[in-house]
Amino acid sequence: MDYEPPFLETYKALVQNHVDDSKNDSSLVERCELPVIDLGKFNYERDECEKEIAEAANKWGFFQVVNHGISQELLKSLEFEQKKLFYQPFVNKSAKFNFSSLSAKTYRWGNPFATNLRQLSWSEAFHFYLSDISWMDQHHSMRSSLEAFASRVFSLAKSLAEILAFNLNTKSNYFRENCLPKSSYIRLNRYPPCPISSKVHGLLPHSDTSFLTIVHQDQVGGLQLMKDGKWVGVKPNPQALVVNIGDFFQAFSNGVYKSIKHRVVASEKVERFSVAFFYCPSEEAVIESHIKPATYRKFTSREYRQQTEKDVKQTGDKVGLSRFLL
């Protein structure tokens, strides 16, 4: 189909040079039920709700929220618009045909730095900073859905971050001052059917460069996270959003909250869609733990991203927080 990225053609050399015929372990993992937190309880069981959020951030690094304030109608509308966007001809997507006012990095697919198949992500994505959405003049319905989602999910992320900061006895105004819409972004993801699904990932194992990530996934499944040294699959919940702790919150909390490695598996026969929101600080923001002794040296968001980009170009993978250990 003309909307599919040319994975096999572009990465032909990697496919031909791949000699390991062993299957990966992605289809053998057990499925788990992430902690589910009902935010509807917040008004009348606030202490209990805050405790549940903090415990999940500490023990799992992942949790789900229901009664989160983002309607199913809005999520379905966004998914509909997302599919329209991905089903454009590939030549239009890759040439920025409809996003001439946005960055050349708005549309992404595969992994240009991959040196073997295990470093290849069989997925494509549109990456929008919240401040860029208003420039999408050619896509009125997509812009409308994205703006409505961005407003609600940004407010949700800020509330969750302030709850987690309060549990650390840290001033919550840090997030109001440093995590603004212009530094946070939305990523629309599509994972196409993959004929070599046993050889590649849908999305490489990684931890997130964010404070919090909030994901709406379809019911196909495929998200897996590392728990107690082994991969476990996340069972989709149609009423829930998935929240995970990012690297910045692990450093900010001095390791109290865990930024957990996760991945998306490739599927041979079905496609998968998801929307991810990344709650991030400005480039000048300093990430520093006020819990002593500190595990990580203080650093800026810009410094962390520059180090990550350098590592990915040199090794094909992100090194992450271990670069900033004291």
Q: Which sequence positions are flagged as catalytic?
A: 272
Helical spans, DSSP H, in the chain? 7-10, 12-17, 46-59, 72-86, 90-94, 140-167, 173-178, 247-252, 301-315
Query: Which of 270, 75, 52 lies closest to 164, judged by CA?
Result: 52
CA distances from 273 to 37, 52, 90 (A): 23, 28, 17
* Geometric angle at alpha carbon 179, from 178 and 182, rounded to 5°: 110
3-state secondary structure 59-84: HCCEEEEECCCCCHHHHHHHHHHHHH
Task: Please give the full DSSP string across 196-243, using - where no structure is assigned.
Answer: TTTTSEEEEEE--SSSEEEEEE-TT--EEEEETTEEEEEPP-TT-EEE
Quote the DSSP letter at residue 4. S
Rounded-to-integer distance, Cα 8 and Cα 93, Å: 18
Rounded-to-integer distance, Cα 283 and Cα 88, Å: 33
Pair 260, 58: CB distance under 8 Å: no
Rounded-to-integer distance, Cα 183 and Cα 176, Å: 12
Rounded-to-integer distance, Cα 27 and Cα 326, Å: 38
Residue identified by tokens 């203080």 is: 298
Query: Which of 154, 88, 74 lies closest to 126, judged by CA?
Result: 88
Rounded-to-integer distance, Cα 58 and Cα 52, Å: 10
